Structure 1
């Protein structure tokens, strides 16, 4: 990695993507717990009904379909998708504002969303979080114990397609250890996790 002695690297959007079950949330949670100042995590907008424990503006920005359509028409979303009958998208203005402030925005989205961001913001750094192997990914999905065999099979089929898109990304991080993966991801922001053991 190139070092910059005379100036801090300019902030840019980092997009984290990868197959379902690879551990994206675990890596992000570790970074936020150990060094929350390192990044700003983008909050998506959605038409999905808010669950009782969710806070508007923290988990999602909850809007109706009319408002979501207005955001699309006014080019206020970096990317958006229709998933299970609900719309999800990334507001453009907060991301651009944090970049101007010299902060490091992180966006966790699926492969299709990453492709849209590449078109909307070509300077974004696209990071692919990969499992050590497809077999390990299958083991992790089965180990959750929250889904039946048919659902797991569908997820694994989708994961094969997602893993085939790895070459479209700028950087690949292999999640064989969430501590090491978190350290490597933070390193892309021109920073690192605090010294000391991570548990």
Structure 2
């Protein structure tokens, strides 16, 4: 009996001397699931109607209606500086953007090129009003035309709704050399002339 108790005591002492049994640990960390939502902008272009004229009208009369520049003086057109509808821009509220509207002229890059009856007229597009608000001039030469979007850009901020673009074109008689029409020359023949407008919106 005493011998058995001694064995039990020795066994208990041996167990007590063993290191404790290890338990599984717990570690924590944090990460993030990220969904990126960027501001969005769209631009809607238009077929811009520069007007209807007769073959007997002169290029000077075209310039008098739309606006013209003779190399020294800019003269606003009788139709005003915000009669042409260039479409619209829609950007999220608070989103800054720039817009250019370029024609295909090789004489003045970014200008509109209209070839008719052996002559090539160069028109400079400008945006005078954006969503009904007056746009600041980007050129002191063409005072009142707003942003010259062919040779410069329109800078604005989105409102979350469509912002309409209304403006003008200036017939530049001072460029183009012998291919340029003179104010005294008539349009001469019937026909339709056009150029492609390329809209570039950066945001």
Q: Identify whether the pair has TM-score above 0.5, normalized to the shorter chain.
A: no
Higher relative contact order (CA 8 A, sep 6+): 1
Larger helix proportion, structure 1 or 2? 1
Larger radius of gyration: 2
> Would you tell me which structure has more strand in proportion to its own residues?
2
Where on the TM-score scale, by shorter chain, does this alignment land: which range?
A: under 0.3
